[in-house]
A and B are shown apart, each in its own frame.
Chain A
Amino acid sequence: MHIAEGVCSGPVLVAGLSLAAAGVAYGIKRMDSDSVPKVGVLSSAFFVASLIHVPIGPVSTHLVLNGLMGLLLGWAAFPAIMVALVLQAVLFQYGGLTTLGVNTVNMAVPAVICFFLFGALARGEGVNKAALAGFACGFVSLTLSLIGVATALLLTQKAFLTPVKIVLISHIPIMVIEGIITAFALMFLKKVKPEIMEIDS
């Protein structure tokens, strides 16, 4: 999920960085001081989630939780994800500082898309709706993130096309796992603190 240093071409990196900067700026602007702790907590969750490792086929992968972040944070998912990615890059050489923009966009854009797609469903009456929204969110956000990574690689080099197909198929189990985890998280939140999902779009 994290693109390493020296994989993407210059234009891809610059485009990613400018998109990420715009998203982060907008996210911070939209964030009111009351929701800052929530953003911080979810940023920490994202930071730690990437260290949970699941081996799948030729590649090992991990939970991303960007769907959950999108649902709970909206646009604030951008700053939350970027802060976590900076620390992952600095502490674990995970991803990289040059690919920070691309990685932020790959994970935050699906989060925001999920917020608009499933936000209303998640806020609807009943725990079942929240579970459904959660599963869809986890599954779709991860799929979109993988497509984002694939696009960034394809824009750099066409030869990546074949592994991309394999990776998309081999990631279906982790998409399902991500969906289930997000569904449980939302069901839990719906029961104990439903107002956490109230954010103005």
Chain B
Amino acid sequence: MMMLPALRTCAWFLCLVVVFLSPVSGYAHKVMVFAYLEGERVHVEGYFADGKKAEHSRVEVFGPSGEKLLETRTDARGLTSFPVFELPEIRIVLDASMGHKAEYTLTRESPAPEAPLSILDSPDTPVVRTRERTGPAEEELIREIMSEELEKALVPIVRELRLNARDRTTLTEIIGGVGYIAGIFGLIMYFKSRGRRSEDGS
């Protein structure tokens, strides 16, 4: 008997949902924070899952042992930056008020200048001979130039990757979730009706 109103409610809500979801294309609402190193500054970006910037949100930076290094706020574009710390790892916590909080751990995998040339350190590669001929000062210069150039080229790519990798709520997940709910309540109904039937039988 209750199935009919339930179905009607369902149809009604589906209409409502379609009307509301069409302009926003189904994003969840959750705050996220992303940080990256650019030169000697750490840039922090806070945004909600729908792409809206987390404006004027509190940003706290913690060291590896949990000590607070600094506190700042994002600007109107959801951005902030601060000078880099000589630490292997910093934890950036963004608080967009009312329980919206996200964190990001920024690690420095080995000092940046080492990375681009690390392949040359392998003793098997013939390039080692070239390296022996260059003086230490010259080598340092090459390292610096290369790392600078690489960083310039990589920062936008890393940022792009990060933006693409951010969680998006897909229609599949939404429909899946509704399916789960139907299943869960189907199960509850099954057990409830079985209990009632055995009562009737006895």
Q: Is the CB of A40 within 8 A of B181?
A: yes
Interfacial chain A residues near B9, Cβ < 8 Å: 38, 41-42, 45, 72, 189, 193, 196
Q: Is the CB of A52 within 8 A of B167?
A: no
Query: Which residue on chain A has the smallest CB distance to residue B17?
Result: A48
The CA-CA distance from A15 to B72 in the complex, in Å, is 32
State which of A41, A62, A150 has its C-beta within 8 Å of the C-beta of B29: A62
Name the interface size band of chain A: 35 or more
Q: Is the CB of A37 within 8 A of B98?
A: no
A61 at the interface (CB under 8 A from B): yes
Interface string of B171-195 (1 = CB under 8 A from A): 0011011101110111011001100
Q: Is the CB of A83 within 8 A of B52?
A: no
A158 at the interface (CB under 8 A from B): no
Interfacial chain A residues near B169, Cβ < 8 Å: 51, 92
Q: Is the CB of A92 within 8 A of B30?
A: yes
Q: Smallest Cβ distance from A46 to chain B, in angstroms?
A: 9
The CA-CA distance from A60 to B54 in the complex, in Å, is 9
Interfacial chain B residues near A189, Cβ < 8 Å: 5, 9, 12
Main secondary structure of the interface of A (DSSP, over half): helix
The CA-CA distance from A172 to B101 in the complex, in Å, is 22
Q: Which of A22-69 contact B (CB under 8 A)?
A: 28, 31-45, 47-53, 55, 58-63
A4 at the interface (CB under 8 A from B): yes
State which of B3, B24, B26, B180 has its C-beta within 8 Å of the C-beta of A87: B180
Name the interface size band of chain B: 35 or more
Q: In the complex, how many residue pairs between chain A and chain B have their CB atoms under 8 Å apart? A: 168
The CA-CA distance from A40 to B10 in the complex, in Å, is 10
Q: Which of A111-164 contact B (CB under 8 A)?
A: 146, 149-150, 152-153, 160, 163-164
Interfacial chain B residues near A160, Cβ < 8 Å: 97
Query: Which residue on chain B has the smallest CB distance to residue A72?
Result: B9
The CA-CA distance from A44 to B185 in the complex, in Å, is 10
Given A55-B52, A94-B29, decide whether A40 and B182 contact each other with a Cβ distance below 8 A. yes
Query: Which residue on chain B has the smallest CB distance to residue A164?
Result: B98
Interfacial chain B residues near A83, Cβ < 8 Å: 181, 184-185
A19 at the interface (CB under 8 A from B): no
24 CB-based A-B contacts, threshold 8 Å: A1-B98, A4-B31, A6-B101, A37-B3, A40-B181, A41-B9, A43-B185, A44-B178, A47-B178, A51-B21, A53-B28, A53-B50, A63-B20, A83-B184, A83-B185, A87-B180, A91-B176, A91-B177, A92-B169, A146-B98, A160-B97, A185-B12, A193-B5, A195-B5
Binding site for A on B (CB under 8 A): 1-6, 8-10, 12-13, 16-17, 20-21, 24, 26-31, 48, 50, 52, 54-57, 96-103, 167, 169, 173-174, 176-178, 180-182, 184-186, 188-189, 192-193, 196
In order of increasing CB-CB distance, the 10 nearest A-B pairs are A40-B185, A3-B99, A33-B192, A163-B97, A37-B6, A36-B189, A193-B5, A92-B28, A52-B20, A34-B2
